[in-house]
Chains A and B, each alone.
Chain A
Amino acid sequence: GEDVEQSLFLSVREGDSSVINCTYTDSSSTYLYWYKQEPGAGLQLLTYIFSNMDMKQDQRLTVLLNKKDKHLSLRIADTQTGDSAIYFCAESMDSNYQLIWGAGTKLIIKP
């Protein structure tokens, strides 16, 4: 079956790195995504990774994919107060491109 799981909360100090984790169950996933949702706003695509890749880096963001363990992580370097948001992990299959979503991880920044 399809299921995406995330921790509900993560608290980090400003300036530290944040690592948000996600596990998924469908081994036929083609793409895995990270979306950001700020209060009162829609979902913003941060980055995505193709399932045959291990890592993708984009400025302060690093995505790591362990396909064997079906584990995806998002690392945010030098976390800032503007990074406070809920981060959603999602997977899609090539067949219909529909997204299966996790429940989201709320990132809390401590001064």
Chain B
Amino acid sequence: EAGVAQSPRYKIIEKRQSVAFWCNPISGHATLYWYQQILGQGPKLLIQFQNNGVVDDSQLPKDRFSAERLKGVDSTLKIQPAKLEDSAVYLCASSERSGSAVEQYFGPGTRLTVT
């Protein structure tokens, strides 16, 4: 079974530029998550999709971040304009409910450096 795919793996941009990340979840997984992981911290949930609808985007800085999940499969996360504090690893995860437990499967992440 193929895992969660993300691209690019690394990105370096200057502040005020824009950037986009792509995620392809595990086939059949209805739920998709985007996390931001700053060095030395645990992941912070940015947005959660159920199919192509948003379940929770309460921690997404909507003035500069946007995300979409067209057709309930692939998803893109965009930052425009980027700030220095956006430097982090952006992780995508997907899950399929199994009983009452939720196992999230993570992609390798995109490491963003904003200079």
A interface residues (Cβ-Cβ under 8 A, vs B): 4, 30-31, 40-45, 48, 50, 88, 90, 92, 94, 96-99, 101-104
Contact = CB atoms under 8 A, between A and B. Distances in A.
Interface in B17-44: 31, 40-44
Given A42-B91, A97-B31, A97-B102, 19 more contacts: A42-B106, A42-B109, A43-B91, A43-B93, A43-B104, A44-B106, A45-B104, A92-B102, A94-B100, A96-B55, A96-B56, A97-B95, A98-B45, A98-B48, A98-B56, A99-B43, A99-B45, A99-B104, A101-B43
Interface string B71-115: 000000000000000000001010101001111111111000000
A71 B31 CA distance: 29
A45 B45 CA distance: 17
B107 A42 contact: yes
A44 B43 CA distance: 13
A50 B99 CA distance: 12
A4 B42 contact: yes
A101 B33 CA distance: 14
A101 B48 contact: no
A41 to B, nearest CB: 6
B60 interface: no
- 7 smallest CB-CB distances across A and B, nearest first, come from A101-B42, A42-B106, A97-B102, A43-B106, A42-B108, A103-B42, A42-B107
B13 interface: no
A96 B104 CA distance: 13
Contact of B101 (A50, A88, A101): A50
B4 interface: yes
Contacts of A97: 31, 95, 97, 102
